């Protein structure tokens, strides 16, 4: 098959490399976002140029010249691997078999741009990814295939995405091509009763309320680690919280219960959080024990005030 790869960043680059290494299909063009001033060249663009592939970076896909160029590649399929720009129907349907798009959640759950963060924050026990037939709706359309994995109680965004979803998803691009090559690719109709859309997970969503149940606090910390980073305040000064553990213990919520080489323990409702790594508003990431010593933190101090 003749393939157009549309994508960006490491996932787009690795999906492209997987296709080229397999050699089963011909990649005829690569599409990625326009260059951004002051930012490094996108890895997928850099890799595609190294391989001598045509690279196109249209600002939008509504322009007739852009559609004409897209059609000139006479592609069978367009693989959309990590795409943030809106691609209208006219562009999606240009290849003979249309387009297929990747999304890092079990659609129709967690449509939206922070699909790895929210399952952790919400305390889900499973996650995964989907390849779906995109429509004009955000992450809407029937699925070609889905892959599910356990979401363990201590998984962070890094664990879930880079250690579980990412390796399988990159490899699955070959399965995607094989399903289309078969001539009868599946269409799994979305159960809209299970659909959810969550907005981009921003700093405002990552504010810790230590007076919540400990499970909710812990899920928020690990679901925003490393980005956007959960945060709290101490005497009005912000500090971001990264590595942590959930531990047992009772007491007054929002109070420092222990300080040791392991970190700083804070009481929540029904349990405690052992903070292990922080980033002060001014400074680099550091062990919580070093931070506590630097600011002369004391047991029974209140945090989040």
**Rounded Cα distance, 300 and 28, in Å:** 64
pLDDT bin (cut points 50, 70, 90) of residue 65 is: very high
pLDDT of residue 140: 95
pLDDT bin (cut points 50, 70, 90) of residue 290 is: very high
Sequence-distant (6+) residues with CB within 8 A of 196 are 108, 109, 110, 111
Structure tokens at 92: 């999606």
Kindly state the average pLDDT of the residues 107-130. 97
pLDDT of residue 89: 96
User: Is the pLDDT confidence value at 22 over 90?
Assistant: yes
Kindly state the average pLDDT of the residues 25-51. 95
- Return left, alpha or beta for 278; rule: phi > 0 is left, psi -120 to 50 is alpha, else beta: beta
Q: Does the fold of domain 203-294 match that of domain 2-194?
A: no
pLDDT bin (cut points 50, 70, 90) of residue 261 is: very high
Tens-place pLDDT, residues 66-92: 999 999 999 999 999 989 889 999 999
User: Is the pLDDT confidence value at 305 over 80?
Assistant: no
**Rounded Cα distance, 119 and 164, in Å:** 14
Kindly state the average pLDDT of the residues 149-164. 97
pLDDT bin (cut points 50, 70, 90) of residue 225 is: very high
268-271 long-range CB contacts below 8 Å, 24 or more apart?
A: 268/210, 268/211, 268/212, 268/213, 268/214, 268/217, 269/211, 269/212, 269/213, 269/214, 270/213, 270/214, 270/215, 271/213, 271/214, 271/215, 271/246, 271/247
CATH topology of domain 203-294: 3.10.25
User: Is the pLDDT confidence value at 167 over 90?
Assistant: yes
Q: Is 142 helix (H, G, I), strand (E, B) or coil?
A: coil
pLDDT of residue 215: 98
pLDDT of residue 143: 98
pLDDT bin (cut points 50, 70, 90) of residue 230 is: very high
Boundaries of every domain in the chain: 2-194, 203-294
Kindly state the average pLDDT of the residues 264-282. 97
Residue 147, burial from CB neighbour count under 10 angstroms (0-12, 13-18, 19+):
middle
pLDDT of residue 227: 95
CATH topology of domain 2-194: Rossmann fold (3.40.50)
Structure tokens at 51: 């391989």
pLDDT of residue 125: 98
Closest CA to 144 of 79, 66, 61: 79
Sequence-distant (6+) residues with CB within 8 A of 195 are 108, 109, 111
pLDDT of residue 84: 86
pTM, whole model, 2 decimals?
Answer: 0.94
Structure tokens at 217: 């606090």
pLDDT of residue 260: 97
């Amino acid at each position: 098959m003749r393939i157009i790869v549309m994508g960006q960043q490491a996932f787009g680059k690795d999906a492209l490399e997987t296709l080229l290494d397999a050699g089963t299909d011909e990649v005829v063009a690569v599409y990625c976002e326009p260059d951004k001033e002051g930012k490094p060249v996108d890895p997928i663009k850099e890799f595609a140029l190294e391989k001598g592939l045509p690279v196109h970076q249209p600002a939008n896909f509504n322009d007739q010249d852009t559609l004409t160029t897209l059609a000139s590649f006479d592609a069978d399929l367009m693989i959309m691997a990590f795409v943030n720009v809106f691609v209208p129907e006219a562009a999606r349907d240009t290849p003979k078999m249309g387009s297929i798009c990747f999304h890092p959640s079990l659609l129709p759950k967690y449509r939206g741009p922070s699909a790895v963060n929210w399952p952790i924050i919400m305390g889900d026990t499973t996650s995964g990814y989907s390849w779906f037939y995109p429509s004009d709706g955000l992450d809407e359309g029937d699925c070609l295939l889905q892959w599910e994995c356990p979401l363990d109680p201590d998984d962070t965004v890094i664990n879930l995405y880079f250690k579980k979803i990412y390796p399988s998803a990159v490899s699955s691009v070959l399965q995607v091509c094989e399903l289309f090559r078969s001539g009868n690719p599946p269409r799994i109709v979305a159960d809209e009763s299970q659909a959810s859309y969550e907005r981009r997970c921003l700093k405002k969503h990552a504010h810790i309320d230590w007076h919540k149940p400990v499970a909710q606090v812990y899920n928020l910390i690990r679901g925003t680690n490393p980005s956007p980073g959960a945060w709290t305040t101490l005497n009005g000064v912000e500090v971001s919280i990264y590595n942590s553990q959930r531990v047992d213990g009772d007491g007054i919520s929002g109070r420092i219960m222990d300080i040791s080489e392991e970190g700083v323990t804070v009481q929540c409702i029904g349990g405690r959080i052992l903070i292990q790594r922080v980033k002060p508003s001014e400074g680099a990431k550091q062990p919580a024990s070093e931070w506590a010593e630097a600011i002369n933190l004391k047991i029974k101090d209140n945090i989040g005030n």
